[in-house]
Chains A and B, each alone.
Chain A
Amino acid sequence: MSPNRQGRLSLALLSVVIVMMVSSCQGGFSSRPSSVDVHVGSKGIEARFMPSAPPVKVMENVEFPVILELENQGTGHVQNGLILFSGDSGFITIEESEGSFSVEGRSKSNPFPGKALIERKAQSLELDPQRQIHEASITATLCYPYETKAGINVCIDTDPLNLALRKKPCSVSSVSGARGQGAPLVVAEIEPSMIPEGEGVIPSFVIRLQNQGGGLIVDPRKVSLACQPLAQSKDLFDRVDIQARLTDTPLVCDSKVKLEDGKAEVECVSPDAFSRALGAYMAPLTINVRYGYTQSLKADVKIERRN
């Protein structure tokens, strides 16, 4: 084989290898995090007791593990969330019934849910005379701050009466956010309206929020109170803080937002009028809702007498 031919063959082989390498890399890139939209869904922290921790059945007077697995399916990062464990008084004791946890949320750079394991030692106590079985339960309660970030393009029409007789690239209409934004509190719908003001309009948005998770919304300034049974105040639940921006303009939103039956409507209005000369165009509306969240879950444990 001539060196020339050998060189060409080597080149061809090298090309095949490179193509294979590149294609394998491309295969990897095709599932790159950047292509995953993490801001969907209505899940936040999903908590579950590990199988057999606690066990379904234990004998009296034994120590057993309680392990709670937390998986942050949402996009909020939780730092210093609180956790409480409680069991049937006089039948189960749990070491360190109070504690804290942190768990990262999903992001573009890491679309996989953050996880945390919380482990405690529990002890079953002796049963009363004549008794053979006691059905007890262990409850874990989580309280943590969370947030919902929604970025939605909305149509701004500065000439709603079409006085300029121009063809418009978009029309003002409600935008659904029912798919969720990667948090239990969902921006379910945005209803824009353009309020004529002088030679332009003032954009106004009715933002509909809905708690689609299994827990309760807590005032973001009082999250820790929700896990302190002796320090709960009347306005603790169903309160949120909301901020919204239209492109770079901060909107003025209702300051006191309270959910009723898990739902709330908030009106956010632009502080300034938009000139008619701008016409109709799509603009990003960014909504940031801050709140606390609390949820509980329960595991049943059957305590059996030894003899």
Chain B
Amino acid sequence: MRRRWGAYVAPGLASAGVWIWVPVVVTLALSFTDWNMVSGAPHLVGADNYAKALTDPDNLAAYGVTVLATLALLPLVVALPIPVAVALWKHAGRLTGFYRLLLFFPVIVAPVVAAFMWQWMLNPVGGLLPGLFAAVRLPPPQLLQSGRLALWTIVALTAWKVFGLAVLLYAAGLASVHRDLVEAARVDGAPEGAVTRHIALPALRPTIALVAFIALVHGAQWSFAFTNVLTQGGPGTATSTIFYRLYQLGFQAFDDGQASALAVIVIVVFGGLSVLALRIGRRPMEAV
């Protein structure tokens, strides 16, 4: 029975190997070379790409944007869904399914489709939001045209897209709490705040770490389509996160050695952070 296990795992292992593990090694190697991906062979340039990764102003701007975007996204998709999930768990009753349906819908909408919907909502001509401002004689906010505001807009849209997933993850965490416990606490006259603090929140601790981990690792992927459709990283470099910068360097400027160095930096920093998040949750892969 143990002879032929290889045949069972080979196709899956080969796929992950060819498309993920080998590329990780290749990226590491490319980060020490100068290559445009198209012509010639990569030749070694030592640590030049890393030096440039840490000094080039556009790269530095991208780190700043990434930190800001992540710091802004975390409360929106890690903290804010908690009270919503608690409300859903405690009070929604027969409408639970209906609220879940509404809240989760943006998660399954294709990213570009969602980006066009929002482009239409925010469009200076005929868009609903500028239209509403005009209706009350206020100048419409330059949500995508002015620097920092454009970044907050992208962050807000990203939060809109994944909020429902976080709520449902928390709702699943709360499902393990016995209803009787809540009823008993209420009959004993415990205020609702105490029910939340002493029953709901402790049950959510591992889920909070999981959501933080997912938001850290996938946050930039979630925002990519919004960025690419709505701002292309602009105005200037205002919405160009490290991931968007990597895409621009690798596939538009064809500076692939530099892009690879940024990729290595990304995997080290974000890998470290996500290990930390999972450690705090003390529930490594079993939750995933």
Q: Indicate whether A and B interact.
A: no
